[in-house]
Structure 1
Amino acid sequence: MNKLYVLLLLISSTFAFSQSYAPAPGNVGSTAIAKDSSCFVAWATGVQVTRGSVDISTPTLTFATFGQESYALGMAEGDGTSVVSLGDSGIAVVTFDSPITNDAGPDFAIFENGFADDYMEFAHVEVSSDGINFVRFLSHSESPVVVQLDNFMFGDCRMVNNLAGKYRQGFGTPFDLDELSGNPLLDVNAITHVKLIDVIGSISAGIGTTDALGNIINDPFPTPFESCGFDLDAVGVIHQLPLSISEQTISYQLYPNPTNDIIHLVGEIDGEVRFYSLEGKLLYREEVNGNQHNFSLKQLDVPSLIMEVQTYESVWRERIQIVSAH
């Protein structure tokens, strides 16, 4: 989408009647993308979360605690509970095995856990191609700010644009990198990081979060619970840079996956096998040589991890799920 068109649409819509944007899933004109859509080619593989307060309007050191960071990785669950809650003004930064690239239409989508079409908790979305400089998508909210929305009130998803959380659980809100093209701080063809920043939905000046035009964004507030703020389910990639030739052609046999302990790796290797947490922490490494290799993973005490096989010619990665033995 042309950047000038987006800007003009944002400005002109402030003088028009509300409900300027795409409707809820299942309605004509909706841009929602189902979690099992074939358009997704990859999902986030790394995440770092900085939790926010359960109620930023009161002096407290109580922070959101619901969910694990790893719940934001992999395919969207869409079940309402497999999420990580950010809290008021909380932040999540997700990364990928291969950069997101700009192509025709939306390039990635973000999933939240709203239980109904118009029960929404929002987050601003920023992207980076170096992990240092982040550029924000221009958001717009036409939502009335006369009455504060609370946990028992609904908004209207047709009144918001470019805010994650616009669509209910199981449906992703899409983002088009073309809207950010031309920014000198960003390479839209090599996005390595996506940042989500919880929107504080208060309509009180000095507390509430504003859109790109300075309008207060009204979403449920306060939500003084451990699951407060934006609840991140997943980030799905639609357009991605291709893997290197070595990553495309080198493969190994890995089984069983999921496993309750022992994993078997088959393939000629002269190099090193490493195991990382989903947050990128190195858990274990071992030099290997030969065709068949066995590893005990139960001792690593994590529900899932990334196995990385490094040789002189290539790098190969696979996600492994670890389940409890019954």
Structure 2
Amino acid sequence: MINPTSLFNALAGTRKGPARLKVKNVKRILLIILVVSIGSKLFGQFAPAAGENGSTAIHKDDALFTGWAKTCKVQRGYINVSDTTVVFTQNNFTSNKAFFGTEAMATGKPGGALDCISLGDGGTAILTFDFPLRNGAGADFAVFENGMKMQESPFQYFLELAFVEVSTDGKRFVRFPAVSNTPASEQMASFGQIKPEHIHNFAGKYVANYGTPFDLEDIKDSTGINTDSINFVRLVDVVGNINPDYARYDSKGQVINDPFPTEFWSGGFDLDAVGVIHFNKLTCISSQEIQKEFKVWPNPVRHNDQLNITGNIFKSTKIELCTLTGKRLKTWVSDADSQTKVNLPELKPGLYLLLIHSEESAETIKLLVE
């Protein structure tokens, strides 16, 4: 920490007796003090730990959550990516990759610090949900890890981090712009400590039972995804090694430093759960509800043919034709009650979605074009 008085004297110059300052020197001093002050604040500019004023952490029991991940598919990483000969043995099983936990442990509501699955260095997890996620007001989902506050100096946090990515079609993933201001001049040890204020948009920012929120608004301008129809969330362990051969970088090109190596069966990011705040239930396909509310025929249909729609239809009913990725191709508004007809545009053979919004109902129907 720079002492402002020492800085002042050094720049202004001192003589025996009272210091004689020039206006130019005073301006220089004030400018440098201002820059130092702003720089130190920016370095720790992000939300603090769970329970502190200004924290964005969301407890697992918060009423904001409307659902949880339904499936999880994990690809494990090594327990030491810089030396893949390193192995760990537990319960008579030996591996050079992480092997703690099961995929089922990452589905549903968080179950505690040991109810998780470890990804290993650079490991990945892809999760799916009952309904697509959408871009609502504020955070749209949150990721839970099993970080903890350390009971030794400097009394910060043991956190293992992961990038967060989302996709509409399961092929094109977009990563949230994450920032790590944790110093990377020296490798953080296996049980090193991180200040939550130094990291942003990384899963694992908060301790167990508190989710790190993610807002789809941050990536609304990305290509290849529909932020109102997110079907997949992917987590990618950041590794944490500052060696250029293995380092990972944040959205600003800075090396990410987190605990390394973690040569245990539980090495790497430990995924506990993904909680959903904003579902897009309009894109849910439920055959029972469709038969009860609307009927569409013919289906399959030929391109350029006419579709008949009956059911809970009103003159204000909105009908939208979309691709499976959520791109809207055509919109109609019904001009009759109980039944309406629409003329399809020129379409390539394949599967499409027909979104029907009436005053009382909203459904999505799969439409096969031959």
Q: Do these two structures clear the TM 0.5 threshold for a shared fold by scoring above it?
A: yes
- Bigger drift between 232-241 and 203-212 goes to 203-212
CA offset at residue 16 of structure 1? 6.1
Name the CA distance, whole Å, in 1 between partners of 2:198 and 2:73.
Answer: 30
Tell me if the contact between 1:14 and 1:142 (Cα under 8 Å) persists in the aligned partners.
Answer: no
One-letter amino acid matched to 1:98:
F
Gaps of 5+ in 1: 1-12, 251-313, 315-326
How many angstroms apart in 2 are the aligned matches of 1:42 and 1:156?
A: 29
Change (3 A) 1:110 1:248: farther
Alpha-carbon distance, 1:232 to partner: 0.1
1: distance between equivalents of 2:137 and 2:187?
Answer: 38
Residue aligning to 2:126 = 93
Distance 2:245 2:230 in 1: 32
Secondary structure of 1:100 counterpart: coil
Give the partner amino acid of 2:200. N
User: Within 5 Å, which residues of 2 pair with 1:12-23?
Assistant: 17-23=42-48
For 1:197, give the aligned amino acid.
V
User: Alignment partner for residue 130 of structure 1, among 169, 190, 200?
Assistant: 169
Q: For the structure 1 residues 247 and 31, does the alpha-carbon distance in structure 2 shift closer, same or farther, using more than 3 Å as the test?
A: farther
Are residues 1:151 and 2:190 paired?
yes
Q: In 2, distance between residues paired with 1:152 and 1:111?
A: 19
Q: Which amino acid aligns with 1:47?
A: C
Equivalences for residues 118-267 of structure 1 within 5 A: 118-242=157-281, 243=284
**The structure with more radius of gyration:** 2
In 1: Cα distance, 2:276 partner to 2:210 partner: 14
The secondary structure found in structure 1 opposite 2:234 is: strand
Amino acid at match of 1:158: E
SS at match of 2:130: strand
C-alpha displacement at 1:148, in angstroms? Answer: 1.6
Match of 1:49, SS state, is strand
The residue number in structure 2 matching 1:46 is 71
Aligned mates of 1:211, 1:224 — CA distance in 2: 24
Equivalent residue number for residue 72 of structure 1: 106
- Residue of structure 1 in register with 2:18 after alignment: none
Query: AA paired with 1:230?
Result: F
| Deviation digits for residues 97-155 of structure 1 (CA, Å, limit 9, x no counterpart) | 10001000000000000122621100000000111100000010110112221233211
C-alpha distance in structure 2 between counterparts of 1:70 and 1:119, whole Å: 24
Distance in structure 1 (CA, Å) of the matches to 2:288 and 2:135: 22
Q: CA deviation at 1:248?
A: 6.5
Q: 2:138 aligns with which of 92, 102, 105?
A: 105
Structure-2 residue corresponding to 1:27 = 52
Task: State the shift of 1:247 in Å.
Answer: 6.0
Deviates more, 1:179-188 or 1:67-76: 179-188
Paired residue for 1:84?
A: 117
CA apart distance, 1:213: 1.1
Equivalent residues of 2:147, 2:159 under 8 A apart: yes
Q: Distance in 1 between matches of 2:288 and 2:157?
A: 42
CA distance in 1 between partners of 2:223 and 2:174 (Å): 10
**In structure 1, distance between residues paired with 2:147 and 2:45:** 21
Distance in structure 1 (CA, Å) of the matches to 2:81 and 2:275: 30
Alpha-carbon offset, residue 249 of structure 1? 9.7
Q: Which amino acid is the alignment partner of residue 59 of structure 1?
A: T
Shift of 1:80: 1.1
Q: Aligned partners of 2:129 and 2:81: how far apart in 1?
A: 31
TM-score by length of 2: 0.62
CA distance in 2, matches of 1:126, 1:191: 10
Aligned position for 1:255: none
Change (3 A) 1:177 1:67: same
Give 1:172's aligned amino acid.
G
Count of aligned residue pairs for this structure pair:
240
SS at match of 1:97: coil
Query: Counterparts of 2:289 and 2:159 in 1: how far apart (Å)?
Result: 40
Is 1:122–1:166's contact at 8 Å kept on the other side of the alignment? Answer: yes
More helix per residue: 2
Q: TM-score, normalised by structure 1?
A: 0.70
Q: How big is the alpha-carbon RMSD for the aligned residues of Structure 1 and Structure 2?
A: 2.3
Q: For the Cα contact (< 8 Å) 2:78–2:84, is it kept in 1?
A: no
SS of corresponding position for 2:148: coil
